[in-house]
Amino acid sequence: MKELLHRKALKLIIQRALMRIGMNLKLPSIIAALVLAALSSTAASATYSPATVEPPWVSREFRAVWIATVKNVDWPSRPGLPVEQQQAEMLAILDRAVKMNLNAVIFQVRPACDTLYESHIEPWSYYLTGVMGQAPRPFYDPLNFAISEAHKRGLELHAWFSPYRAGFITDKISPAANHFSRTRPDLVRKYGSLLWLDPGEKEVQAHAIAVIMDVVNRYDIDGIHFDDRLAYPEKDGETKNIEFPDLATWKRYLADGGNLSRDDWRRENVNTFVHNVYDAIKAAKPWVKVGIAPPGIWQPGYPSQIKGRNNYATLYVDARKWLMKGWVDYLSPQLYWSIAQPDTSFPVLLKWWLEQNPKHRNIWPGLNSGNVGSKWRSEEIIDQIKITREQCGGVAGAAHYSAKCLLEDRGGLASALANGIYAKPALVPPSPWLEKQSPAKPLLLLENGRKAKWETAGLDKVSAWVLQTRVDNQWQTRILPGGTRSLSLTDSPDIVAITAIDRCGVASPPNVLQKAANPAKQEALSPTSK
């Protein structure tokens, strides 16, 4: 009976390997027998059998960094950089993320109605090639490149969009013929030094969602991300007393029977976009997480000691509503202030946001890591992460702004994190509302106790594997990229366990093998049932 289970499980591994390269077929019995015989001869000396030992718990914490491309903040370092250098710079950021035990990058792919990926809707970005509308030469797709290299390193990649920004007048960038400011100038407003799409126009919202869904459908991303620029533009010194020029749009809304005040109408425009884009993404790919990084202050006085800009009344951002309605999978309020500053206290604001969360979405604050080395010491960010862990429990996390400061190790922050509270790897916390069923228990094969091989037992898409080994009563945990299917072991462990993590962060039951007391009578492969 055990021999039969052994052969069936090995056959399933072979069939699934072929399916992954596009061959959904049943092996002819003669070929299967020959291949299985070869594999069985390798496995014959294995000395492990199924066990009920529970491997240790694996830390869950979102550890992300923003990679900003607008005005070449983080990448590439300047417009028109040679392709080879662009790619080298991206790899340096990703390698730094791995060295720090981060597990996600948030890559800005559409800074101002222009793209860092191949699009038939909008032009290539000036910030990439130095000429808007000009493709990289030699050609490559930066988003595909970043996704592939991130996934090889076990990093999630979230594509970051600015839905309404269309450009900076002061930059004097010549817009391409297919840039929205040229194809639909009637829907673009000048506001100070900005070109901004009018969020009150239904065609604007439809265009933004079409652009986003084009990426969702064509690219293997893990998330879609928005920052505080998904609403109306900020009133700065230049526009402090100037209204955003949408009076005609609002009057048309009233003429069509609307009855909201101009402020409430603006907020509802933003709410509608957030709700619609969330629903569209979930209808296409439910596992793609939707994250938003709104301003850290909802309104002054919430909670009572908080002072500062009223983003509800000036940017028309009602992030509290999105959280309470469940229109996000994670919220990263930009808590860019210190712990000690009472008017904008980091722990007080974080606690307030956590209290506005009836749908139990993930809350992973944005941290102003760029302040380290100038205004703050690295201990400020480290203490903020500790506070987040205390308040968020086992689903903590944070996003660091931005990549350049970590790459340059300003103030020693990157080193302090890598050698301290990020010293051990962590999985991205799950989003269980996106996945009703855990992945199937994976298959596991040990060759001579020195090489582990594994495979999924179902059709689940795996984002990561957790391989855990025990030697002399000491456990070691490795988090491996989803594409990895084997690993050589330096020691012959007493116990080996493999767990699959799906695209929603949900874990399978672990498959655990233990070194047999009487090796000659044990089989190498565990049963395939859960």
Range in 23-37, 179-193, 261-275, 455-469 the model is least confident about? 23-37
The span from the first CA to the last CA of the chain, in angstroms, equals 18
505, 330 in Cβ contact below 8 A?
no
Label residue 177 by pLDDT band (50, 70, 90). Answer: very high
Range in 49-58, 510-519, 521-530 the model is least confident about? 521-530
Quote the distance between the C-alpha of residue 399 and its chain's center.
10
Peptide bond into 303 cis (omega under 30): yes
pLDDT in tens, 5-14: 444 455 555 5
Identify the H or E element spanning 495.
strand 495-502
Structure token digits, residue 5: 């289970």
CATH of domain 2-58+434-521: 2.60.40.10
Peptide bond into 77 cis (omega under 30): no
Q: Please state the φ and ψ torsions of residue 62, each to the nearest 5 degrees.
A: -75, 120
180, 128 in Cβ contact below 8 A?
no
Structure token digits, residue 472: 């002399």
Structure token digits, residue 436: 């009703």
Is the pLDDT at 43 greater than 50? The verdict is no
Assign 208 to helix, strand or coil. helix
Q: Which residue has 């596991």 as its token pair?
A: 444
Structure token digits, residue 358: 């009836």
The b-or-e profile of 371-396 (16+ CB within 10 A means b, else e) is bbbeebebebbbbbbebbbeebeebb
Please tell me the predicted confidence (pLDDT) of residue 502. Answer: 96
- DSSP 8-state class, residue 71: G
Listed by start position, the domains of the chain span 2-58+434-521, 63-166+198-240+247-429
Please tell me the predicted confidence (pLDDT) of residue 236. Answer: 80
pLDDT in tens, 355-382: 999 999 999 999 999 999 999 999 999 9
CA–CA distance, 260 with 239 (Å, rounded to integer): 24
Label residue 458 by pLDDT band (50, 70, 90). Answer: confident
84, 126 in Cβ contact below 8 A?
no
Domain 63-166+198-240+247-429 CATH superfamily = Glycosidases (3.20.20.80)
